Chains A and B, each alone.
Chain A
Amino acid sequence: MQKAINASVCLIALIISIPIISVLSIWIFPNQDIWNYFLDNLLLDLLVSSGILLIFVAIGVALLGTLLAYLVVFVEFPMRKFFSISLFLPFAIPSYVLGFIYLGIFDYSGYVQTFFREYFNITSFNFDLRSNSIPIILTFILAFYPYVYIIARASFMRQKISIIENARLLTKSNLAVFFKVAMPLIRPAIVAGVLVALMETLADFGLVSLFNYNAWTVAIYSAWYDFRSIEVAAQLSSLLIIVIFFLIYLEKFARNKGKHYSYAITNRRIYHPKGWRKYLIMFIPLFVFIFALAIPILQLIVWSTEVIFEELNYQYLNLLFSSFILIFISVSIILLLSLLLVLASNNRYLNFIIKFTTIGYALPGSIMVIGILFAITNISNINQYFGGASINHLFFSSISLLIFAYVARFITISYRSINSVKKQIKPVFVENAKLLNGKKSNIIFSIYIPMLKSGLLAGALLVSVDILKELPATYILRSIGWDTLAIKTFELSAEGLFQRASVPSLIMVLFGFFIIFLLQKFDYKY
């Protein structure tokens, strides 16, 4: 059984990493001229701005995500249960939608700056949101903190509550308890969440282009759109792969220090602040709730009310249905495959293979697509070499290619959430089962799968919403008639029809909320 699992993991890994291998293989015949131009003129600047982005987004999502999780798990304050769930929801709002709304509100021509100019008569009040990195970093943090929050919250709930209680008795400073005990306690979870957020940040193009910010992806797209060289685009992307490898190994360091096992879910608060203090505490999640959720949703509703009845038609059922089918098929495949990856033996070679397979998430969607297009051409060429026909077109005639792209891109997420839960299973369960002469298959079905349930659900949740929001790969690889809500949102907003665009994006966000609620319901009780 274990051998069969290991063998199939190798096979899966090979197939899934085809796009990544294709992207890397571009170095066999690199395009020197354009590459040198980039090297000489653009790369240093881009490295610095991408570096700044990564560092501050990492710090921001780690602090915000963990703090929010800590508060809702251990501190009793008004509306705690409400925030506990609703702080997940911003995850359903695509970062490009969030960025678009913030620009509308906070730009020179937006409500806020106009208000300052008109009511305080400061005509010179001019803060250019694009002139420094702070606005875009804050947007990224508000868009991606849920990755940390989701994992950190689940992790805090499964900690031994007594550790925090004892720490509290030993030190008077609540901040010290948070920074010195709570955060280190769930460090692997925080690091895992941060890593996912960073991969998203690296792969982002929508938000950075909205802010006209010179991130690495801008160079990638410049190579493609300006210089018409998908080869150089692939060369530039391959550097992202190296960065991610580096980050993944950093993560390993964070994990290695200690082993943490999960315990029964805690449903007891440690802190019970009284009087104004509890409202002060409540202000923190409230603030995030307002900016990451309430304002964007309100803006979408305001925009859409004017046009909703002309815009809404049967076509939207079609879009919703496409999104649903794509999610359902892909998530089923992804869960199955990532479960296999998790159950593979823990040895060096397999670990490396799995790590390599799961870096696809850091590639921008369209670069993953370039890898797939390269691969298709090569497969077809090989087929022709052996006397077959040209078969490239076959790949495009169904949604299978798109589903493959989803699997290759998003398997990381579900693998990581399942694996993080697996690491918390006390080995004693498995040892006991082995002692009782349990077969591997029995161990899998009666121990692993039930105990991994929360990881599987979290994986399903994250991947579903990610697929719902996914734009670049869907836009290129879908077959005729498979438009999604994300595509509709993009097409309308790209033509400046923001009010009409708010209708599909609102539906997309609500559908995302629905998925989150549904999967949460299966997981823990509150």
Chain B
Amino acid sequence: MKKIIGFFLLLWLLSSNTIFANEVTVYSARKEHLIKPLFEEFSKDTGIKVKYLTGKGETLIERLKTEGKNTKADLFITVDAGNLWYAGNQGLFQPVATNIIKSNVAKHLRDENGLWTGLSLRIRTIVYNSDKITPSELSSYGDLANKKWKNRLCLRTSKKIYNKSLVASIIYNKGEEKAQKIVKGWVDNLSSIPKSKDSHVMDAIIAGQCDVGIINHYYYGAFVDKNPNTPLKLFWANQNSTGVHVNISGAGVLKHSKNKKNAIRLLEWLSSAKAQNIYLNLNKEYPINQNIEVSKDMQKWGAFIQDKMNLSNVGRLQLESVLLMQKQGYK
């Protein structure tokens, strides 16, 4: 019995040890399989050990708030500009605007005060069935509200944060009244109740339940890898106006970080060309660093003009966007 108790005590200690001095602790809303390869490479380059805990962005923020100034975490990685903005707004981050980050990351993709930084780009855009539609029929997010798409549109649920950010960007660019009309038009054009996943939207388009939808580009990337002959095609929205809506995964150094130096080093490293290529290969996310060339299969999707609005605005307008979508009956 003593042995068993000793064994568990040992486990307990192991699970909470802080013996390694040269380390950095990361809380991450990016899933393990998408960050582990990055961290391993970082450790190889720098000798700094990375400990990490994954979770949902929203809940990790609550955990960080509760852990308070004694938290072990140094860096918080999350997806969606709204989450980053909110974490900044809640006072979780400290400003770190080093020259490396400034030169690697375009201005609209990081916080004005240096609280957080984008690390990879995810484009939320239009996907369509090329057997049924030619690209000339498509133009913008707003156009999908047009009556010609009646019963031909599939969308993911408005509860997904990517849609909240997209609509927030439309509110920012077009004003609330127009945004309301667009969302109303979408809802009227839906051919089915909104799906819970981007992949379900693609499945529905291929099966013919609808002809067009809105998704994050990397889901399409993964899908095409498996189904090279699919009639599904990406279309970059709003190329003649604001540019396509971009969202980010990003990170910020926590205010109560105990290893600030290492945290900044990791943040800088993640924005470097080497790390950006890993992002690219792992998940087909576009590099934050525009000097980096994307892979051949992604070049096929064509170049795009991105919406250059500062992503802080997305965070600021997210609540308004939620209210707007609920009011228009977007489930």
Contacts and interface: CB of A to CB of B under 8 A. Distances in A.
Interface string B45-72: 0000001111110111011001111111
| Interface SS of A by simple majority | helix
Contacts of A174: none
Interface in A396-434: 396-400
A476 B195 contact: no
Given A210-B196, A325-B11, A480-B15, A109 B32 contact: no
B192 A475 contact: no
Contacts of A126: 192, 209
B16 A398 contact: yes
Indicate the size class of the contact surface on chain A. Answer: 35 or more
B31 A491 contact: yes
Interface in B167-195: 192-195
Interface stretch (A259-267, A342-350, A369-377): A369-377
Contact of B25 (A128, A218, A226, A480): A480
B199 interface: yes
A325 B10 CA distance: 13
A496 B196 contact: no
A500 B67 CA distance: 33
B193 A212 contact: yes
B159 A226 contact: yes
B33 interface: yes
B59 A212 contact: no
Interface stretch (B91-99, B130-138, B141-149, B200-208): B200-208
B192 A373 contact: no
Nearest to A374: B66
A483 B31 CA distance: 12
Contacts of B209: 108-109, 126
Interface string B219-250: 10011000000000000000000000000000
A475 B31 contact: no
A392 B69 CA distance: 9
A94 to B, nearest CB: 16
B198 to A, nearest CB: 7
Interface in A151-184: none
Nearest to A492: B33
B66 A373 contact: yes
B15 A396 contact: no
A494 to B, nearest CB: 7
B31 A494 contact: yes
A496 B70 contact: no
A390 interface: yes
B206 A109 contact: yes
Indicate the size class of the contact surface on chain B. Answer: 35 or more
B197 to A, nearest CB: 7
B193 A131 contact: yes
A274 interface: no
Contacts of A227: 319, 322
A9 interface: no
A373 B161 contact: no
Which of A109, A209, A472 has its CB near the most chain B CB atoms (within 10 A)? A109
Contacts of A513: none
B308 interface: no
Contacts of A218: 159
A398 B69 CA distance: 18
Which of B52, B207, B327 has its CB near the most chain A CB atoms (within 10 A)? B207
Contacts of A396: 63, 67, 72
A228 interface: yes
B157 interface: yes
Given A114-B207, A126-B209, A476 B55 contact: yes
B310 to A, nearest CB: 20
B193 A130 contact: yes
A399 B70 contact: no
A171 to B, nearest CB: 47
A317 interface: no
Contact of A476 (B59, B157, B326): B59
B8 A128 contact: no
Contacts of B219: 496
Nearest to B55: A475
A497 B8 CA distance: 35
B159 A222 contact: yes
B214 to A, nearest CB: 15
Contacts of B86: 228
Contacts of A481: 15, 51
Contacts of B197: 496
A128 B193 contact: yes
Given A393-B71, A480-B51, A225 B12 contact: no
Contacts of B55: 475-476
Given A227-B322, A496-B199, A108 B207 contact: yes
A496 B207 contact: no
A402 B259 CA distance: 26
Which of A117, A397, A488 has its CB near the most chain B CB atoms (within 10 A)? A397
A264 B232 CA distance: 64
A496 B209 CA distance: 20
A209 B72 CA distance: 32
A107 interface: yes
B196 A212 contact: yes
A390 B69 contact: yes
Nearest to B13: A398
A479 B86 CA distance: 24
Interface in A443-496: 472, 475-476, 478-483, 487-488, 491-492, 494-496
B124 interface: no
Nearest to A476: B59
B192 A131 contact: yes
B331 interface: yes
B164 interface: yes
A329 interface: yes
- Which are the 5 A-B pairs with shortest beta-carbon distances? A393-B70, A109-B207, A130-B193, A109-B203, A491-B31
13 contacts: A107-B203, A108-B204, A226-B319, A370-B62, A376-B66, A393-B67, A396-B63, A398-B12, A480-B25, A483-B54, A491-B54, A496-B222, A500-B33
Interface of A: 41-42, 103, 107-109, 113-114, 117, 123, 126, 128, 130-131, 209-212, 214, 218, 221-222, 224-228, 230, 325, 329, 366, 369-370, 373, 376-377, 380, 390, 392-394, 396-400, 472, 475-476, 478-483, 487-488, 491-492, 494-498, 500
Given A212-B331, A392-B67, 14 more contacts: A126-B192, A126-B209, A209-B159, A221-B159, A225-B58, A226-B164, A230-B62, A325-B11, A369-B59, A373-B66, A399-B15, A476-B59, A480-B51, A497-B33
